[in-house]
């Protein structure tokens, strides 16, 4: 169950990266904070691939793999921008929970695009964990405007599309080790995303580019954590359907609650604790289904 360990590592690293990006949003703007994870993540991923290249054969990238990677890269840029926009209007834990409705749509996308299994037990486990996410958000839904709910849910759906793109790219590669496959797709992904963000910011907001590099210390931290998290997401995608990975990743909501209390001083309510229990139960059910 290597994908389980990889997913948990990725979820922890992503929580740290999201917190770093949320802190950058007020200084460099939503688009600037979105670009940080790509521009400052690419050097770390590329250097690691260069180090491994003498001892691991780098797989060739066909048109299908490049196409799926481009789909995932574009969807991830849009999803990250909407995620940061949601964080500006809601608490960190609430924004994370809104985006974690992703596994439901992801399971459907996976069944349609990649013919991955979509049985009743698997969907029930995903639905249970997602219900836990809604409770764990701690949101009083009557007091939340429609706009942040829509941006958060749309962000989650786009993250689902990106996961399908990356899983499709990994499945399109020739035979080889899952680790070098994941790292190769990651470098291509970050290269495409960095190029797109440089062109966009250079043409529309050169001041934002200067602001990003002025905040290089926190940008490096966010980039390194982002590259590290993405590598382990991709390892998970290489080994099991993306919906399994993203459902297990709902434990990130638990991590987000810790971050919310420790850093953003948000309190945890009883309903949130019940939600956490449901998340754990749903994840455990999914793991039991996946193991059969």
pLDDT in tens, 174-208: 878 999 999 999 999 999 999 999 999 999 888 88
Angle among Cα 259, 253, 191 to the nearest 5 degrees reads: 85
pTM of the model: 0.82
Q: Which residue has better confidence, 31 or 164?
A: 164
User: Do 241 and 167 form a contact (C-beta atoms < 8 A)?
Assistant: yes
Q: Domain extents for the chain?
A: 2-291
Three-class SS state of 264: coil
Tens-digit pLDDT profile for residues 120-144: 888 888 888 888 877 776 656 556 6
- b or e along 25-60 (b: 16 or more beta carbons within 10 Å of the residue's beta carbon)? beebbbbbbbbbbbbbbbebbbebbeeeeeebeebe
Using the structure block, give the residue that is written with the tokens 């979105």: 34
- Length of the chain, in residues: 292
Tens-digit pLDDT profile for residues 34-54: 888 899 999 999 999 999 999
From 79-83, 96-100, 141-145, the region with the lowest mean pLDDT: 141-145
Q: Which residue has better confidence, 232 or 263?
A: 232
């Amino acid at each position: 169950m290597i994908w389980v360990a990889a997913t948990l590592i990725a979820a922890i690293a992503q929580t740290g990266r999201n917190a770093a990006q949320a802190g950058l949003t007020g200084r460099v703007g939503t688009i600037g904070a979105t670009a940080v994870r790509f521009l400052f993540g690419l050097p770390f991923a590329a250097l690691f691939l260069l180090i491994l290249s003498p001892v691991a054969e780098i797989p060739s990238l066909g048109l299908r793999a490049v196409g799926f990677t481009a789909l995932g890269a574009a969807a991830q840029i849009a999803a990250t921008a909407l995620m940061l926009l949601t964080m500006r209007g809601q608490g960190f834990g609430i924004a994370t929970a809104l985006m974690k409705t992703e596994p439901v749509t992801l399971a459907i996308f996976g069944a349609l695009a990649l013919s991955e299994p979509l049985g009743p037990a698997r969907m029930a486990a995903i639905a249970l964990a997602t219900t836990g996410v809604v409770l764990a958000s701690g949101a009083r839904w009557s007091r939340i405007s429609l706009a942040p709910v829509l941006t958060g849910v749309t962000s989650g759906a786009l993250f689902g599309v990106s996961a399908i793109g990356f899983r499709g790219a990994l499945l399109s590669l020739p035979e080889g080790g899952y680790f070098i496959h994941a790292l190769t797709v990651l470098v291509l992904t970050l290269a495409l995303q960095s190029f797109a963000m440089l062109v966009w910011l250079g043409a529309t907001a050169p001041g934002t580019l200067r602001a990003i590099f002025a905040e290089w210390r926190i940008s490096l931290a966010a980039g390194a954590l982002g590259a590290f998290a993405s590598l382990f997401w991709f390892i998970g995608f290489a080994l099991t359907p993306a919906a399994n990975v993203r459902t297990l990743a709902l434990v990130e909501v638990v991590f987000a609650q810790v971050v919310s209390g420790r850093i953003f001083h948000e309190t945890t309510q009883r309903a949130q604790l019940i939600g956490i229990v449901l998340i754990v139960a749903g994840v455990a059910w999914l793991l039991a289904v996946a193991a059969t």
